[in-house]
Amino acid sequence: MATWSAPGKVFLFGEHAVVYGKPGIAMAIRPRVYVTVRKSKVMHHARSPYIDGCFEEMGVKGSVYVNSQIPSSSGLGSSAAVTVATVSAINDEFSLGFSQEEVANSAFLIEKRVQGGKASPTDTSVATFGGLILILGTQRRRLPPQNFNMVIGNTMVSHSTGKMVEMVAELRKRQPDICNPVMDAIEGVTMGALRYLQDQSQLGRYMNMNHALLDVLGVGHPSLTRLVLAARSAGALGAKTTGAGGGGCMIAICPRTVKNRVAKAIETAEGRAIITTMDPEGVRKERDVT
């Protein structure tokens, strides 16, 4: 029996633009997914296509127990965390000898296949390596860890990442004269933000700019606008949609002393708040739970 856990993630900058080779910055966050795998002679199918995909890809049979603290379908990377933790637990239980790099690559291929070919390696990279990661095309670079005080606001409006990516692709085809400069501006914001990772006030301003640019791409939602404005009014230094948009989650960066106030404002605006910080650790082995 082997138990492994992996963190969820938020996009700080660059979602959607990363699909077109622009840079993105993503961060591992505290809620985790825990997966226990046990060898068996027959396959006990899980309810998740991601977990079944892991067993198929790795050519083994077993049973799985999942304990997730990450809400699903909300843009916090729960499917990538489940996939990375399952691949790692299978690798351990069956002594397959995969390196961390190989775990990240297999998990990405599995996630991409389950999602019909639509996925960037962002979520699986962050779930594997943890911390703060810059995505640049197919490359990833670890950035110095930061101690951000962050509040996530879940709109509880479920969204489909595939549909939102499709919508942006459509806009890009129909109105390249508008869409392409917006993508370039998002790139400018992401690269600019890299200089201010230790200056949360400046970073907050960049987050606000990124949010406005995502709205121009048409991936906003009234519930996201409501939570973003509530967080800013309560003293957040910056707030934006995180992930695909059209529902899902927003994030706010704030001084330590106001994070409870920001969380309360998000709840008053009908969101579900999670106060979190960066998780420096990626996928890791846990003590067995059963």
Residue of 3, 15, 32, 232 interacting with ligand PMV (CB under 6 A): 15
Give the range of 118-126, 227-235, 250-258, 266-274 binding ligand PMV by CB under 6 A: 118-126
- Among positions 12, 19, 104, 254, the unique one binding ligand PMV when judged by CB under 6 A: 19
Q: How far is CA 273 from CA 126, 135, 236, in A?
A: 22, 27, 13
The residue number whose beta carbon is nearest to ligand PMV equals 243
Q: d(Cα 52, Cα 41) in Å, to the nearest integer?
A: 15
Is residue 16 close enough to count as binding ligand PMV by CB under 6 A? yes
Among residues 68, 86, 122, 223, the one that binds ligand PMV under rule CB under 6 A: 122
282, 127 in Cβ contact below 8 A? yes
Contact call for residue 248 and ligand PMV (CB under 6 A)? yes
Distant-in-sequence contacts of 66-73, Cβ < 8 A, 24+ apart: 66/33, 66/34, 66/35, 66/36, 67/33, 67/34, 67/35, 67/289, 68/33, 68/34, 69/31, 69/32, 69/33, 70/8, 70/31, 70/32, 70/33, 71/154, 71/272, 73/158, 73/159, 73/248
Q: Is 177 a catalytic residue?
A: no
26 touches ligand PMV (CB under 6 A): no
DSSP state of 248: S
Name the residue nearer to ligand PMV (CB basis): 71 or 131: 71
Q: Which stretch binds ligand PMV (CB under 6 A): 141-149, 209-217, 240-248, 270-278?
A: 240-248
For the chain, state the CA radius of gyration.
19
Size of the site for ligand PMV (CB under 6 A): 14
Q: Which of 92, 123, 184, 199 is catalytic?
A: 123
- Tell me the torsion sign for CA atoms 58, 66, 28, 210: positive
Q: Residue 289: how many CB atoms within 10 A of its CB? A: 10
Give the one residue of 103, 132, 236, 244 binding ligand PMV; rule: CB under 6 A: 244
Does residue number 165 form part of the binding site for ligand PMV (CB under 6 A)? Answer: yes
Task: State which of positions 180-219 bind ligand PMV (CB under 6 A).
Answer: none
Quick one: 90 or 211, whose CB is closer to ligand PMV? Answer: 211
Q: How far is CA 267 from CA 232, 257, 285, in A?
A: 14, 18, 34
* Smallest distance, ligand PMV to C-beta of residue 248, A: 6
The least CB distance from residue 18 to ligand PMV, in Å, is 5
Binds ligand PMV (CB under 6 A): choice among 6, 12, 18, 283: 18
Single residue of 75, 130, 153, 282 touching ligand PMV by CB under 6 A: 75
99, burial (CB in 10 Å: exposed 0-12, middle 13-18, buried 19+):
exposed
Chain residues binding ligand PMV by CB under 6 A are 15-16, 18-19, 75, 77, 119-120, 122, 161, 165, 243-244, 248
